[in-house]
Chains A and B, each alone.
Chain A
Amino acid sequence: MRDGARAIRWLLPVGKTALLWFARTFGTRLSDPRTGESIGRVLIVPWKGKLAIFGLTKAVRPEFVPQTRVTYARQDLAFLVVPEPNYPNVRGQHDSSYSPKS
């Protein structure tokens, strides 16, 4: 029993490394549709009603891509590299709804 637990403790990091290697080598290639910046390869797996993503190396935001057709038949989910904040100093004044410019 103790040997089994030890084997699992050893196998988990090995399995994690192997999974990440596979995802980053053979996974789907993602890029930011606004800038074309490469996000890298990832493995996307349906999991308990959600999507599990393996292999990301940077922070991204999921966002559905605008479409000209009015339909749910096919919709594209893209990933955007997070922007640099560009908000003004609002000390001493009320803020309005500023949005970041990347």
Chain B
Amino acid sequence: MSEVSTILLTHQSPERVERMLGYWDRITPRPTVFVAFGGSKNDFDRISHPHRALIDSPRLKTRDHQREKQSYTPVFRAAWEWLKSEDTRYVHFMEYDHIPLLEDLHKRMISFTADEKCDLAGFHVAQIDHSSNAHYLNHLADPSFLGFWERISIRSDKHVVLTMFGSGSFWRKEAFGAVANLHEEVPMYLEIFQPTAAHHLGFRVRSFREQNRFVRNLGDLGTQLDSLRNQGAWSAHPVKTLWNL
């Protein structure tokens, strides 16, 4: 049994995917890695890694991710088809440009999850209902948004809304499966849907607080990896060019 299964989301060329997998060999055995591929069918066919799926969904392939409410539900669904029969306890989801910096990354994440007794740990997790959060206000303009949570929530306060950075997250398998299989009746941006769905399905969601500063939405941290590691970073985002040939 492997404790952690890792899902890597990428759209890059097969050569870059192979580089990425080679790097991840330091972190986790390759048979425990699943590649969710959002690129072309031609490139997908040239990837040799056996555990992979082509994600050809307009909900993933958005241009303005926030305004078009990009969704990772097709990614999670495809990964779950592979994961459900895997004998694993945790699921680690990472975008291709979110880079692990420590070989014992999974050990640390498991330890954090155990200490926090949480089912989902992510970056920049916050409770944003009744706040000025731009995504929350945008979703609130859709009259069906809160109704969806009222229908599926097992909690008493059904209007709690959470946000979480989308580039990397660490799940207990049960929580991942429950969210992957939840039908997203109302289109939502992934940073709201994933943590809020986990919360309303009864799971405990926490933030990697001390690690938040190493996970950003803009820029490229590729030249600072050693420095970030020395500052205590477990991982870094975004690093766009590490797999370039």
Contact = CB atoms under 8 A, between A and B. Distances in A.
A18 interface: no
For chain B, which range describes its interface: under 10, 10 to 19, 20 to 34, or 35 or more residues? 20 to 34
Interface in A56-102: 56, 59-62, 82-92, 94-98, 100
Given A59-B128, A84-B125, A89 B117 contact: yes
Contact of A89 (B156, B157, B162, B202): B202
A17 B207 CA distance: 32
A98 B202 CA distance: 12
Contacts, number: 75
Contacts of B163: 59
Given A85-B125, A87-B204, A59 B132 contact: yes
B131 A88 contact: no
A44 interface: no
Interface string B98-128: 0000000000000000000111000001111
A53 B127 CA distance: 21
Interface residues of A, number: 23
Nearest to B155: A95
Interface string B33-49: 00000000000000000
Contacts of A85: 125-127, 160, 162, 195, 199, 205-206
Contact of A83 (B126, B132, B195, B204): B126
Nearest to B134: A59
B133 A59 contact: yes
B152 interface: no
Nearest to B209: A84
B119 A89 contact: yes
Contact of B202 (A53, A56, A91): A91
A98 to B, nearest CB: 8
B65 interface: no
Contact of A87 (B126, B136, B205): B205
A60 B156 contact: no
Most B CB within 10 A of own CB, among A82, A94, A95, A98: A82
28 contacts: A59-B128, A59-B131, A59-B133, A59-B134, A62-B132, A82-B133, A84-B126, A84-B207, A84-B209, A85-B199, A85-B205, A85-B206, A87-B204, A87-B205, A89-B117, A89-B203, A90-B154, A90-B155, A90-B202, A91-B202, A95-B154, A95-B155, A95-B202, A97-B156, A97-B157, A98-B156, A98-B157, A100-B127
Interface of A: 53, 56, 59-62, 82-92, 94-98, 100
Interface of B: 117-119, 125-128, 130-134, 136, 154-157, 160, 162-163, 174, 195, 199, 201-207, 209
